[in-house]
Amino acid sequence: MMEKDFLVDKKYLNIPICAQKEERLLKIFLLDRENGTQEKMTEVMVPVDEEQDGKYTADFCAQIPVEAYRGKEIRVSLEEAPDIFSESVCLSDEREEAADTHPVIHFAADSGWTNDPNGMIYDNGVYHLYFQYNPFGIQWNNMSWGHAVSRDLLHWEQVDSVMFPDENGTIYSGCAIKNERGLLDLPEDALLFFYTAAGGNDEWSKGQQFTQKIAYSLDGGMTLRKIKEPCVPVIYRDSRDPKVYWHEESGAYIMALWLRGNDFGILRSENLKDWELMEEFTLKDGWECPDIFELTSDQGEKCWFFWSADGFYYEGQFDGRDFKTDGEKKWAYLTGVPYAAQTFSGVEGRVISIPWLRLKNDGRNYTGAYGIPVELSCKRTDDGFIIVQKPVRELWEQAERITDKVQPDENHTIFYQQEEKKKAVLIRMNVEENLLDDLRWKINGSWIEYSPEVGSFTVDRDAFQAKAWRHELLFVIDDRILEVFFDNGEQMGTFELRDPEISLEMPLDHVKEYDIFEID
C-alpha cells in the first residue's frame, strides 16, 4: 500500500489519472499529529497504470481543492500502487489547463466524466452550473459536484469542485436556492444547495440508504459546507434528486423528489428543516431528476408542468400541495441525447433550462457536455399545452452574421470550412411550405436529411420523428454537437456528428431565406 503525507501549502492535491486502466481505492485523510488521529476526508476509485516504468505518464490530473487545510497535514493512501504513481501525487497552485478540444458555447469539463446538471442558480451577475462529476476518470463513478461559472450562459469557466464522496455516500443530483428568508441560522445572502447523499453506493457508506441533505455557501457559491443531519431522511431506498423552490401562493417551500419506479413526491416545508410528504403520484414512463414549473404562452396563458429526466413532461395544475394531471406524457426532444435538464433559480422573468448531453467518448479526456441554454414557454395546441424551447437571447446577442461572406456557388450550394480559430455556427433557414421533396445537407461529415411530408429527420441513417411540414429550421453546430430547433422551438432535437471540425455543404434548393452566424 502507498502512503504519502503532505503539509498543505498549496491550493490543490493532484492525483494522476490514466483513463480506463484498472481502478484502485484511494483514500485521503486529515492528520492530527498531536492526538495521533486521522480523519477520512474522501475515498474514491482511481484508474492506475501498473505497467509503466520510469516517469509516470498520466492522461490528466484530478485536482482536489485543499486550500481550506493550509498549514495542516493530509495523507494519501492507495492500494497496490506502483512507486512511480506515488511520485506523481503532488500539491500545486495552478489549475491544469484543458486541451483545446472543447465545444465553443456548450460547456464540457476540462477532463473527467460529467452527467446531470445540478444546483443551477443565478446570483450577483453570475450563472452557476454545478454538475455530477467524476474527476478521477472518463467513466461514471465517484459522483461528486463539479462547478462552472458564466456571465453570458454561453462561455463557461470550470472552477474548483465543491463536494466529494463522504461517509454518507457519493454526492448525487440536487438544486440551489437563495436563502432569501434567512433560514437555517444563515444570512440571507447565503446560497443553499439540496442534494442526495447516495448511501450504500460505495464501500465507505455500505449499508446506508439515500437521504436528502443541505450544503450552504457564504462566498457566492465558490465553496460549500455540508450540514450534517439530513433534511429528508430515508423515504424509499433510492429516493433522490430534490428540486426546491419557494411557492409564493401557498407560502412555503416545495420539493419535487423522485421516489421509486415511476413514482414522484411533493414535499412541503416552511423552515427548510422539516419536510412533509404531501402526495405521491405515478407518471407513465417518468423517471428521476424531477422539475416542476409554471410557464406562460405568447397569449398570456399559464400552465404548470412536471418534468422528468428523459424530457418527458406532464401538463397539470399545482396549488403548492397537489399536482393534478391527466398523466398524458409529452416529449421535449427527438432523441435520447439530452437528459436530466434542470431550470435555473434566481432568474427573474425567464425560465431557463440546460440538459446534460449523453455524448460518447471519442478519445478525448472528457465525457459528456451540456446543451445550449433554452428559454421555456408554452403554447396551446389541439393536444393541450406543449413546451416551447428557444435558445436564450444571449445567443443572438453574440452571433456575428456572415451570410455575405458565404455565397452559394453555381449549383446553389453553400460551402463553409472552419477556420483556424474554433467557432460555433448557427444556420437559420425558412424552407418552402407544403414541400414534397426531401432536403439533404452535409454537416461535419454527417449526412442530414429532412422529409417535410412525413416529418422524418435523419442523421447518418438514424431516423427520428419530427412533426410534418415544419418549415422554420435553426441549426446550432458546435464541435460534434448539432441542435435543431423546428418552427421557433416547438420541437427540438440534439444529435452527434461524425467530425468535430465544422464543415458545411448545404444545397439551398427549396430554401426561401437563410442566415449564417458565427460565435467564438
pLDDT per position as a tens digit, 129-149? 999 999 999 999 999 999 999
Q: How confident is the model at residue 403 (pLDDT cuts 50, 70, 90)?
A: confident
Q: Look at strands 338-343 and 366-367 and give their pairing.
A: unpaired
The per-residue pLDDT for 44 is 97
Query: Is residue 100 predicted with pLDDT exceeding 80?
Result: no
Which helix (H) or strand (E) is 191 found in, with range? strand 191-198
pLDDT tens digits along 470-513: 989 999 999 999 999 999 999 999 999 999 999 999 999 999 99
Interval 94-104 mean pLDDT: 88
Residue 372 grid cell: 445550449
CA within 13 Å, CB half, 10: 12
Q: Which of 49, 110, 116, 202 is catalytic?
A: 116
DSSP 204: T
Cell, residue 94:
495552478
What are 291's three cell numbers?
422539475
Extract the C-alpha cell encoding 335: 432523441
Identify the band that residue 175 occupies on the pLDDT scale cut at 50, 70 and 90. very high
Residue 288 has pLDDT above 80, yes or no: yes
Percent of the chain with pLDDT over 90: 91
Q: Rounded mean pLDDT of 186-201?
A: 97
Which among 432, 445, 451, 453 has a CA at the least distance from the CA of 504?
445
pLDDT of residue 51: 86
First to last CA, the chain: 48
- Bridge partners of residue 65, in order along the sequence: 12
Rg of the chain on CA atoms, in Å: 24
116 is a catalytic site residue: yes
Q: Bin 289: left if φ > 0, else alpha if -120 < ψ < 50, else beta.
A: left
Give the single-character DSSP code of 233: -
Measured in whole angstroms, the distance separating CA 96 from the mean position of its chain's CA atoms is 21
The Cα–Cα gap between 47 and 80 comes to: 12
Place of cell 501498473: 50
Query: DSSP labels for 17-33?
Result: E-TTSPEEEEEEEEEET
pLDDT recorded at residue 340:
98
Average pLDDT over residues 22-26: 95
Q: Which domains does the chain have, with CATH numbers?
A: 2-92 (no CATH), 112-394 (2.115.10.20), 400-519 (2.60.120.560)
Banded pLDDT at 53 (limits 50, 70, 90):
confident
What pLDDT score was predicted for residue 101?
83
**476 Ramachandran zone, left/alpha/beta (phi>0; psi -120 to 50):** beta
292 — pLDDT class (breaks 50, 70, 90): very high
Amino acid at 411: N
pTM (global) more than 0.75: yes
User: Would you say 168 and 208 are in contact if contact means Cβ atoms under 8 Å apart?
Assistant: yes
- Give the 3-state DSSP-derived string for 67-106, with helices as H, strands as E and coil as C: HHHCCCEEEEEECCCCHHHHHHCEEECCCCCCCCCCCCCC
Q: What is the pLDDT of residue 419?
A: 81
